[in-house]
Amino acid sequence: MGSLYFPRKFAKGVVIGTAANPRDTNGLLPPNTDNVEWWSDYQGVPPVPVLDFAALRSAAAATGTLNVYGCKGTGAAWDLNGSCNAGAPHANHFGDSTNYINTHLTAGQNYVWYWDGDVELTGAFCGGHPCTPGKGTALQGTVIVRGNLTIDTPGDFVYNGHVPANAWQEENKLTKTTFDSALSQEYPADIGLHSTSPTWNFGTDTFCQPTSGLCGLYATVGIRGFTYVGGNLTIISYMDFNGAVWINGNVNASGGSSTQYCGIFYDDTLQVPALNVILLRQSWQEVAASPTAWP
């Protein structure tokens, strides 16, 4: 987080930063924000939702998306026996998920994907962006991994997707000394000063990486929706998320570069089955009392 000044940071505690890139240097004493990038002692942070794992698992069992392992071998149908590719074991692998969807499910539909243990998302690597359909990951809906999740695949999705209103606020501060400007494509869906497009073409539209100055980057989305990992998330290759990600354990990454990395594009339209109801007041309007008596 130290050198990345996007997205914004909200905490019930203190947003610290690093020695070279400090944020709140006086703890919980005011001021508790720079009014641009970070907010400490922020009471608007909601409690953690309680996920309805029983309902989620039941939904996955009903659609054939519960504990799916295997991959598509050369010249063969989908292999659910845990081995393919010259007999190599794939007991914890789920490879070429697009092929599985095209074979057994309805493409473009939301599903609950549920694994009781560990899973590794694998697929053939492609030289361009996005990956050729059928050789990467393309999970849409809700992904629940109760164990560890390993990502070793690029994303397959190409689509026009929703961008949250006022998304530019997350990128208002780009680096320690630079801010959003009148230029476009400084970040995803950027169309000028304090302006973002309501939709964005994931997989085809390009953007710049503020921390590196690199441009012409694509979003390689492999999961559209909510992702929950009960254990650790290990990123070996690059793949983007469009939705929200909840990791209980640690996040470890290797093999990335300034042009190949895991990014998260937040989607504020997500709905996830939860056992607790969390209400936050977005706005309110007072309705004056009527002089007319009730019948």
Q: What pLDDT, in 10s, does the model give residues 245-283?
A: 999 999 998 766 666 678 899 999 988 777 765 544 455
The predicted structure's pLDDT at residue 166: 93
**Contacts with 138 (C-beta within 8 Å, 6 or more apart), sequence order:** 97, 98, 101, 155, 156, 157, 222
Tell me what pLDDT residue 128 has: 38
Q: What is the pLDDT of residue 78?
A: 58
Better-scored residue on pLDDT, 83 or 138: 138
* Domain ranges within the chain, ordered by starting residue: 53-160+215-266
Lowest mean pLDDT across 5-9, 214-218, 224-228, 258-262: 258-262
205 CB neighbour count, 10 Å cutoff: 16
pLDDT (0 to 100) of residue 236: 84
Q: Can you tell me whether residue 139 is helix, strand or coil?
A: strand
Pairing type for strands 221-229 and 240-247 reads parallel
For residues 143 and 135, what is the distance between their CA atoms, to the nearest angstrom?
19
Say what the pTM is: 0.84
Is the pLDDT score of 167 beyond 60? yes
What confidence score (pLDDT) does residue 90 get?
53
Residue 86, pLDDT score: 44
Q: 63-77, 78-92, 123-137, 163-177: which has the highest mean pLDDT?
A: 163-177
Q: What is the pLDDT of residues 41-58, one digit of tens each?
A: 999 998 888 999 999 999
Instruction: Please provide the average confidence, as pLDDT, over all residues in the chain.
Output: 83
DSSP 79-129: E-SSEETTTEE-TTEEE-HHHHHHHHS-TT--EEEEESS-EEEE----SSS
Q: Between 122 and 29, where is the model more confident? A: 29
Instruction: Note the pLDDT of residue 135.
Output: 61
Which of 2-16, 64-78, 116-130, 224-238 shows the lowest mean pLDDT across its residues? 116-130
